[in-house]
Structure 1
Amino acid sequence: MNISARNSFPGTITALAEGPVNAEVELSTAGGDRIVAVVTEGSVRSLGLAVGKPVVAYVKAPWVMVMAGQENVRFSARNHLAGTVQQVTRGAVNSDVVVQLPGGSLVHAVITNEAVLELALKPGAPASVLFKASHVILGVPA
């Protein structure tokens, strides 16, 4: 399957909290990175989601925020993952920033060129990525 989302996190469901409308799904990648998704109960049923099941989490690059410095800040975004900038590809207005997580996953974020300068993002610099659990799309092998 081809997909336009730049970020793909294959993993295994490690926790599933179901509610009357939505469910919170936690997955762990092979490298130990943890991703949280919020999906509908309909999706839980139609995808057959359960603890221990393999799943792939997808996140579009424009939905990813990048933070540098001030690691003592708390956010409502469930996914806050620290890593190191691997690459910055500058465009006319936006840049593609690639952050490598400790578990080896690469996260692409599309942010403004101005933000790249303000945050002093360059290869080797520490940075965190943030994205909302509701921005995570789950898929299962067919």
Structure 2
Amino acid sequence: MPISARNGFKGSVTAIKEGPIHAEVVITTPGGDSIVATLTEASVVSLGLKVGSPAIAVIKAPWVSLMSGAPEYRFSARNQLNGTVSAIHAGAINSQVTLTLAGGSKLVAVVTNEAVSELGLKPGEAAVALFKAGSVLVGVPV
């Protein structure tokens, strides 16, 4: 399935918290990395999502922010995934930074070159990927 988003996490639905308008859906990869998505109840129904269903969580790389060092603040981003920088590909303005998450999944973020420098990002260094649950698209097999 060709798609322009850099991040696709195949797994299964491990939790659904339903509400009158929106639902929170957790997709967990075989390695144990969990992604939280906020969807409309209509989407949960139309996709046929149930605990145990196969699904994919898709996140565009520019929607991911990175953090390094000890946090001084708590953040509202529902997804805060710890990882290790495994690659950095610098461009003229932005860099593509790849993190290897605890469960072995790879996550790509596109951040400015200035941010890479200010955060001290280097291969082998720890970093945290942050993104809102509303930035996660969910797909199911057809």
TM-score tier (shorter)? over 0.9
Question: TM-score under structure 2 normalisation?
Answer: 0.97
1:73-103: per-residue Cα shift (whole Å, max 9, x none)?
Answer: 3210000011100000000100000000011
2:4 aligned with 1:4, yes or no?
yes
Distance (Å, rounded) in 1 between the aligned partners of 2:48 and 2:112: 38
Instruction: Give the corresponding residue for 1:42.
Output: 42
Query: How far apart, in 2, do the equivalents of 1:141 and 1:35 lie?
Result: 18
Residue 96 of structure 2 is matched in structure 1 by 96
1:17-56 matched pairs, under 5 angstroms: 17-56=17-56
| Amino acid corresponding to residue 91 of structure 1 in structure 2 | G
Aligned identity (percent) is 58
Question: Where has structure 1 moved over 4 Å in runs of 4 or more?
Answer: none
Partners of 2:78 and 2:59 lie apart in 1 by 13
Query: Letter of the aligned partner of 2:15 in structure 1?
Result: A
- 1:140 equivalent to 2:129? Answer no
Which amino acid counterpart does residue 100 of structure 2 have in structure 1?
Answer: Q
Partner-residue secondary structure (3-state), 2:42? helix
Instruction: Give me the whole-angstrom Cα distance separating, in 2, the residues matched to 1:107 and 1:137.
Output: 15
- Within 5 Å, give how 1:60-75 maps onto structure 2: 60-71=60-71, 73-75=73-75
- The count of corresponding residues between Structure 1 and Structure 2 is 142
Q: Is 1:82 equivalent to 2:79 in the alignment?
A: no
Letter in 2 for 1:101: L
Amino acid at match of 2:87: Q
- The Cα RMSD (Å) is 0.9
User: What is the SS of the residue equivalent to 2:115?
Assistant: helix
Moved more, 42-51 or 67-76: 67-76
Amino acid at match of 2:115: A
**Matched residue of 1:49: which SS?**
coil
Q: CA deviation at 1:72?
A: 5.9
The DSSP-based 3-state class of the residue aligned with 1:122 is coil
Query: Do structure 1's residue 106 and structure 2's residue 94 form an aligned pair?
Result: no
Which blocks of at least 5 consecutive residues in structure 2 are unaligned?
Answer: none
Structure 1: gaps spanning 5 or more residues: none
- Equivalent position amino acid for 1:105 in 2: S
